[in-house]
Structure 1
Amino acid sequence: MGEAIDPAAPEPRKVPRLIRLPEVKHRVGLGRSTIYRWMAEGRFPKPVQLGGYAVAWVEEDVENWIETVRS
């Protein structure tokens, strides 16, 4: 049968999904230069460093930015 749920158990942590530049460009409809310029101006979310020169954006940050722009 099923296991009993322990109400005192901590909630599982949600691991943020990371997306790379090609997907970011596709979702927001902007080019690389515009994205990086707007990041420098504080108008676009900054990526997280993956190691070396590799970066990715937190998907939720990009989605929130899209919703803000649409408003």
Structure 2
Amino acid sequence: MTTTKKFLRLPAVIEATGWSRATIWRKVKAGVLPAPIPIGPKSIAWDAEEIAQWQQRCIDASRGVG
């Protein structure tokens, strides 16, 4: 069975991270934040699950988990 994926556009990623547009692109380039996925000829989005996993890793790291 296929599960439906949710995509987040840049404004939603800005809201989720609290970072500016430029910082998000620096973090993607540095490999800190997952890279976006092309969803059209001129459109990109992030996999919502990947962003949620990244957020959880940040929380775990700040609390010394894992």
Stretches of 4+ aligned residues off by more than 2 angstroms: none
- Structure 2 counterparts to residues 1-71 of structure 1, below 5 A: 12-71=1-60
Structure 2, unpaired ranges of 5+: 61-66
Say which structure is richer in helix.
Answer: 2
Shift of 1:42: 0.6
Larger Rg: 1
Identity of aligned residues (%): 28
TM-score by length of 1: 0.79
Number of equivalences? 60
